[in-house]
């Protein structure tokens, strides 16, 4: 199994003012520190923000970071990061030396060049795994900040959702209606939709591109009234296609085990072109609470990487496998998959013979089985 070499597998123990009994990763500590820093800023500007909301002004702050002026409710300014919360996070990470915790000397030189040459921009790495770390930091901190604004009524529900979507992230479900992607939490009461529609030619037209990083080379989706068809490409498998010739690298043990189990939870998933092109198509119903898109990403990515350490972690992978097997067992999904691999109708849709044959080929099923 491939292993990425990154600095973020180091564990650190939190300071005395952080009430945690277990070590946390460098990335988790950076996220916690950034959240604390932004909370301090929000509290310092509480009266100003209340006035800004009443007068429909932006959540403007002036602080001793970077250019000095930022709007915490801005994630885009005419296609740039000028004045945005991302730009503030970037400058905090530089001036507080957070970048030094996980970047190499050469990468720090790159950050410094961005700081000096274009202070209204943010650092982006050519290293996909480092960029995945940065994406995780920005997403977690921005969503946490949005939740704080919503709790303080600086954001209405619509503004909360628009802010997060504008930043390029999925809107989390909050409070008692939250649908969790933490597989350690019981999922008994989450709704699971066993039906999926047949993919139409129109589902391949006018697809929207998604900004996914990490293991994903490319991703897009097509939204329908009843849900969304996603089309994903895994970088490592796509790289095995050279000069138009499919090399068809066999599934490794992690990919094989996870793909088989995901077929049982996501009955509409298609791995027919995965071996040759790294392509996965997966359907997620608009009513779905259990087999969500975020859950699919979390599970499949565990074949390659632990998001906390950014390298392959056998223990982490086995935890995801165990949790997924538990869901499948609790929901009685083995029977549904037995029907699927026999190409019977599931959810009112009969899978085509090509997909059925590919299922048997990938997972070793014979016609007699």
- pLDDT of 209 reads 85
Mean pLDDT of 130-135: 92
> Which residue do the tokens 């994406």 mark?
135
All residues at 6 or more sequence positions from 5 whose CB lies less than 8 Å from its CB, including other chains: 311
pLDDT tens digits, residue range 219-262? 888 888 788 889 999 988 876 555 455 566 788 899 999 998 99
Q: Identify the CA nearest to 258 among candidates 355, 205, 324, 314.
A: 324
- Cα–Cα dist 18/41, whole Å: 19
- Nearest CA to 355 out of 273, 272, 251 is that of 272
**What is the pLDDT averaged over residues 49-54?**
77
Helix axes 333-341, 353-363, angle to 10 degrees: 110
Strand 11-12, strand 24-25: pairing: antiparallel
- The 10s digit of each residue's pLDDT in 174-225 is 653 444 444 444 555 678 887 777 766 666 667 888 878 789 988 888 888 7
Q: Is the pLDDT of residue 161 over 90?
A: no
CA angle 327, 332, 336 (to 5 degrees): 110
- By residue count, the chain amounts to 369
- pLDDT above 90 covers a percentage of the chain that reads 38
> Quick one: pLDDT band at residue 355, thresholds 50, 70, 90?
low
Q: How confident is the model at residue 10 (pLDDT cuts 50, 70, 90)?
A: very low
Return phi, psi of residue 57, to 5°.
-95, 165
C-beta of residue 295 within 8 angstroms of C-beta of residue 230 = no
């Amino acid at each position: 199994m491939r292993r990425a070499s990154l600095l973020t597998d180091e564990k650190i123990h939190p300071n005395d003012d952080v009430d945690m009994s277990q070590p946390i990763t460098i990335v988790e500590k950076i996220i916690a520190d950034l959240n604390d820093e932004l909370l301090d800023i929000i509290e310092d500007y509480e009266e100003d923000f209340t006035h800004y909301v009443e007068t429909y002004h932006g959540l403007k702050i002036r602080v001793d970071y970077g250019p000095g002026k930022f709007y915490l409710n801005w994630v885009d300014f005419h296609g740039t990061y000028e004045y945005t919360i991302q730009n503030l996070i970037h400058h905090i990470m530089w001036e507080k030396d957070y970048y030094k915790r996980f970047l190499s000397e050469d990468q720090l030189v790159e950050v410094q060049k961005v700081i000096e040459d274009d202070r209204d921009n943010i650092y982006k790495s050519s290293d996909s795994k480092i960029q995945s770390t940065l994406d995780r930091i920005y997403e977690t901190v921005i969503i946490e900040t949005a939740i704080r604004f919503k709790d303080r009524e600086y954001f209405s529900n619509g503004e909360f959702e628009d802010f997060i979507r504008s930043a390029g992230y999925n809107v989390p479900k909050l409070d008692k209606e939250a649908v969790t992607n933490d597989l350690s939490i019981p999922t008994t009461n989450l709704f699971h939709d066993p039906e999926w529609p047949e993919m139409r030619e129109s589902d391949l037209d006018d697809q929207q591109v998604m900004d996914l990083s990490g293991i994903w080379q490319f991703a897009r989706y097509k939204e329908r009234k009843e849900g969304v068809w996603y089309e994903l490409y895994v970088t490592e498998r796509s790289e095995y296609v050279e000069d138009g010739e499919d090399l068809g690298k066999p599934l490794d043990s992690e990919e094989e085990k996870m793909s088989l189990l995901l077929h049982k939870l996501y009955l509409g998933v298609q791995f027919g072109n995965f071996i040759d092109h790294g392509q996965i198509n997966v359907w997620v119903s608009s009513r779905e609470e259990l087999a969500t898109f975020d859950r699919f990403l979390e599970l499949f990515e565990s074949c390659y990487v632990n998001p906390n350490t950014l390298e392959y972690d056998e223990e982490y992978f086995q935890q995801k496998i165990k949790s997924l097997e538990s869901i499948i067992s609790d929901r009685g999904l083995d029977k549904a998959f037995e029907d699927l691999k026999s190409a019977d109708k599931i959810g009112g849709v009969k899978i085509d013979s090509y997909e059925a044959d590919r299922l048997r080929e990938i997972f070793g099923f014979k016609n007699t089985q």
